[in-house]
């Protein structure tokens, strides 16, 4: 039997179970192995920690791609089984979408087109939409794909270049579309949403899609569809829960915590993975160096760096990064040994991240359910399920809401 998607009656119970699971195991998923030479939980679970620390980087990467089956010591298998059960979520019902003109797919990157088609085929509303509102639309590919002859389209986007090329694309196709330059977080955005709109948001980040839920419910939209992403793109340092249930929870989430669901690497190719590994191994090596140079045994954040930084020699990289962080020159070091230590730490970090990774999907679902419960409190009935396969986009969860 396929797993069911969630509907209004199931939301609160699943939320409460996830909430308890996440609260109970905070010690395992909150601390980031990248930031600590030793994690607080390692003392409690020495067998698991020792097993993970003894493995290679390749084993960590393979382990992450088949996480629930990892033969790690207790309590890993029990936690994996619980996380898997709690993360279960079925596909929303789909229908064969109406034939769309080939011209609509011109200029749309392949993966994006497949996501749009999947999103579109899972939209089911009782009322026929008359006016789509593509929220944070980019060039408006999604909105154009959805809009049939008897429907109108408004796209909201704040990047003027995307507004302009989106508008040109719509004009070329003879579509009745308005592409408006609009910061959706600005006060005047409220005027853009009215009852006649059916808002859709594909991969709108943190605050952006939350704003849609708030404005759409306040302004009387009767139906909407949202596939969120980048939960950690929020203005505040702490997550502001939306629903009464999440507000009552003891779970306090930092911006850093909100990055956990986004930490998987399914869509990265081999070259990107290699570059990322080098960047992380060098940063971890620099972290050892900075602890020694500053005489403070604490992680020091380093900014994101342009890719040229990783074509330097490792010694130059450390010198330049020390200067950037306002530290004294590292002088002469055994650079070969230090770099090797960085790679060794990377293998340990990646393996020690595996228990934490069990909580990625439960935390994502907790966040989605907070949104779903909020919409329910605003009078919507809600369905929550997947709209595409995980490898097409790890952000494959869709919220459909409608109210009478
Ligand atoms: C991840 S993209 C998604 C675009 C499109 N929905 C898609 O699936 O291709 C997010 C979009 O939000 C836009 N955006 C970011 N901040 C915004 C804001 N404050 N107001 C309006 N649009 C914004 C970005 O320029 C970008 O086009």
Tens of pLDDT along 334-376? 999 999 999 999 999 999 999 999 999 999 999 999 999 999 9
Instruction: Give the per-residue pLDDT at 265.
Output: 65
Please give the Cα distance from 206 to 208 (Å, whole number).
Answer: 5
Ligand 1: residues whose CB is within 6 Å?
112, 136-138, 142, 156-159, 162, 183-185, 202-204, 208
- pLDDT of residue 2 exceeding 90: no
Closest-CA residue, ligand 1 atom 18, reads 183
Please give the Cα distance from 345 to 353 (Å, whole number).
Answer: 12
Could you tell which of 105, 154, 155, 157 is best to mutate to test the pocket of ligand 1, judged by most ligand atoms within 8 Å of the CB? 157
| 112 CA: nearest ligand 1 atom | 9
* Cβ neighbours around 240 below 10 Å, total: 13
Q: Determine whether 123 is exposed, middle or buried from the number of CB atoms within 10 Å of its CB (0-12, 13-18, 19+).
A: buried
Closest-CA residue, ligand 1 atom 12, reads 136
% of the chain exceeding 90 in pLDDT: 90
Instruction: Give the per-residue pLDDT at 266.
Output: 60
| pLDDT, average across residues 175-197 | 96
Tell whether the torsion through CA atoms of 305, 309, 310 and 315 is positive or negative: negative
Q: Using N-to-C axis directions, what is the helix angle for 270-294 and 335-357, rounded to 10°? A: 110
Q: Using N-to-C axis directions, what is the helix angle for 335-357 and 57-65, rounded to 10°? A: 20
Q: Where are the alpha helices (DSSP H) in 104-147?
A: 110-121, 141-146
User: Which residue is listed with tokens 């008359």?
Assistant: 130
**What backbone phi and psi angles, to 5 degrees, belong to 377?**
-65, -25
Joined tokens for residue 283: 């940063």
Ligand 1 centroid to residue 182 C-alpha, Å: 10
**Helix or strand holding residue 271 (H, E):** helix 270-294
Q: Could you please report the per-residue DSSP string of 152-191?
A: EEEEEES-HHHHHHHHHHHHHTT--EEEEE--TTSGGGGG
User: How sure is the predictor about 13, in pLDDT bands with cuts at 50, 70 and 90?
Assistant: very high
Closest-CA residue, ligand 1 atom 16, reads 158
Ligand 1 centroid to residue 136 C-alpha, Å: 4
* Cβ neighbours around 42 below 10 Å, total: 17
Over residues 263-283, the pLDDT tens digits come to 876 667 888 888 999 999 999
* Cβ neighbours around 121 below 10 Å, total: 17
Q: In Å, how far are 132, 133, 154, 185, 212 from 194, measured between CA atoms? A: 11, 10, 11, 16, 12
Ligand 1 centroid to residue 114 C-alpha, Å: 18
Closest-CA residue, ligand 1 atom 27, reads 138
Ligand 1 centroid to residue 320 C-alpha, Å: 34
Instruction: Give the per-residue pLDDT at 68.
Output: 95
Q: Determine whether 255 is exposed, middle or buried from the number of CB atoms within 10 Å of its CB (0-12, 13-18, 19+).
A: middle
Ligand 1 centroid to residue 148 C-alpha, Å: 23
Over residues 76-122, the pLDDT tens digits come to 999 999 999 999 999 999 988 778 888 888 889 989 999 999 999 99
- Average pLDDT in the chain: 95
Closest residue by Cα to residue 232 from 205, 203, 204, 202: 205
Ligand 1 centroid to residue 159 C-alpha, Å: 8
Closest residue by Cα to residue 5 from 101, 135, 92, 94: 92
The CATH number that domain 102-256+363-402 falls under is: 3.40.50.150
Closest-CA residue, ligand 1 atom 4, reads 138
Please give the Cα distance from 404 to 399 (Å, whole number).
Answer: 17
Tell whether the torsion through CA atoms of 63, 64, 65 and 67 is positive or negative: positive
Instruction: Give the per-residue pLDDT at 3.
Output: 86
Over residues 205-262, the pLDDT tens digits come to 999 999 999 999 999 999 999 999 999 999 999 999 999 999 999 999 999 999 999 9
Please give the Cα distance from 115 to 137 (Å, whole number).
Answer: 14
Closest-CA residue, ligand 1 atom 25, reads 159
Q: What is the DSSP letter of 254?
A: B
| 115 CA: nearest ligand 1 atom | 8
| 162 CA: nearest ligand 1 atom | 27
Over residues 370-398, the pLDDT tens digits come to 999 999 999 999 999 999 999 999 999 99
Ligand 1 centroid to residue 181 C-alpha, Å: 11
Instruction: Give the per-residue pLDDT at 267.
Output: 60
Instruction: Give the per-residue pLDDT at 36.
Output: 96
Instruction: Give the per-residue pLDDT at 1.
Output: 73
């Amino acid at each position: 039997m396929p797993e069911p998607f969630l509907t209004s009656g199931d939301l609160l119970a699943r939320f409460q179970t996830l909430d308890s699971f996440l609260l109970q195991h905070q010690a395992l998923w909150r601390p980031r192995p990248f930031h600590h030479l030793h994690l607080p939980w390692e003392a409690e679970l020495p067998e698991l920690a020792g097993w993970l620390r003894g493995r290679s980087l390749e084993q960590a990467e393979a382990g992450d791609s088949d996480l629930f089956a990892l033969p790690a010591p207790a309590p890993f298998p029990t936690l994996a089984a619980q996380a898997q059960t709690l993360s279960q979520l079925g596909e929303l019902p789909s229908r064969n979408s109406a034939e769309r003109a080939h011209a609509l797919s011109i200029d749309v990157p392949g993966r994006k087109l497949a996501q749009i088609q999947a999103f579109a085929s899972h939209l089911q509303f009782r009322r026929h939409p008359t006016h789509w509102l593509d929220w944070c639309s980019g060039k408006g590919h999604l909105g154009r794909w959805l809009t049939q002859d008897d429907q109108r389209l408004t796209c909201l986007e704040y990047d003027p270049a995307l507004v302009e090329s989106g508008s040109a694309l719509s004009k070329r196709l003879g579509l009745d579309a308005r592409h408006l330059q609009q910061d959706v977080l600005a006060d005047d955005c409220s005027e853009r949403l009215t009852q006649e709109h059916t808002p859709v948001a594909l991969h709108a980040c943190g605050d952006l899609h939350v704003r849609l839920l708030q404005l759409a419910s306040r302004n009387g939209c009767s139906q909407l569809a949202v596939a969120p992403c980048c939960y950690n793109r929020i203005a505040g340092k702490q997550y502001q829960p939306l629903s009464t249930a999440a507000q009552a929870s003891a779970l306090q989430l930092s911006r850093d915590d909100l990055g956990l669901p986004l930490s998987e690497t399914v869509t990265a190719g081999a070259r990107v993975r290699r570059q990322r590994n080098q960047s992380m191994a060098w940063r971890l090596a620099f972290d050892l160096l900075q602890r020694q140079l500053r005489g403070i045994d604490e992680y020091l954040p380093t900014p994101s760096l342009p890719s040229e930084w990783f074509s330097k020699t490792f010694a130059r990289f450390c010198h330049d990064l020390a200067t950037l962080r306002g530290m004294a020159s590292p002088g002469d070091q055994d650079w070969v040994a230090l770099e090797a230590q960085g790679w060794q730490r990377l293998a340990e970090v990646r393996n020690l991240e595996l228990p934490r990774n069990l909580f990625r999907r439960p935390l994502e679902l907790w966040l989605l359910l907070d949104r779903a419960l909020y919409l329910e409190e605003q009078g919507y009935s809600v369905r929550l399920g997947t709209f595409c396969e995980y490898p097409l986009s790890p952000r494959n969860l869709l919220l459909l809401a409608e109210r009478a």
